[in-house]
Amino acid sequence: MNSPEPTTPQTLPDWELYHALREQWTHEDNLVNHRLMWLILSQGLLFTAYGTLTIDKHRWLVYGFPLFGMAVAAVIGVSIFAALDSSRAIEVEYRRAGLERLCHLVPQSATGHRGNWAAKALPAVFATLWLLAATGFIQAS
């Protein structure tokens, strides 16, 4: 009994390849969205808890929250960049396969990839805010 040949991007009909790449693209876009939500929610909760601390009773937490906040921002930031890199790889495969003639994968506009700026910048913004919070506390001590 012969097993079917494995399907590669080159052997798929154009519309099937388009749908497969589009599905992967959508998945990576959803990953970026979920990870941004994790970042925003976690940072909001951490900043709220940090703001309620009193230095006298919880000194170790006043030091620990900024470190933990920076670590969370860094880890989620790495995962956001991984999803964005996967999206870029899908776009490269899409263009390499010549599927632009069927339909654009990404909207053609003057803004280019500026829609990713928030996803790329927010982890660094939160990490910087935690760094400022930590240095402000150290200077106040």
Q: What is the pLDDT of residues 16-47, one digit of tens each?
A: 888 899 899 999 999 999 999 999 999 999 99
Residue 5 domain-assigned (yes or no): no
For residue 4, pLDDT over 80 is answered with no
Residue 8 domain-assigned (yes or no): no
Note whether 68 and 46 are within 8 A (CB): yes
For residue 11, pLDDT over 60 is answered with no
**Overall domain count for the chain:** 1
H helix or E strand, kind and range, residue 27: helix 14-52
Residues 6+ apart with CB under 8 A from 107: none
pLDDT for 136 equals 80
Residue 7 domain-assigned (yes or no): no
Q: pLDDT tens for residues 64-85?
A: 999 999 999 999 999 999 999 9
For residue 55, pLDDT over 80 is answered with no
pLDDT for 80 equals 97
pTM score over 0.85: no
Residue 110 domain-assigned (yes or no): yes
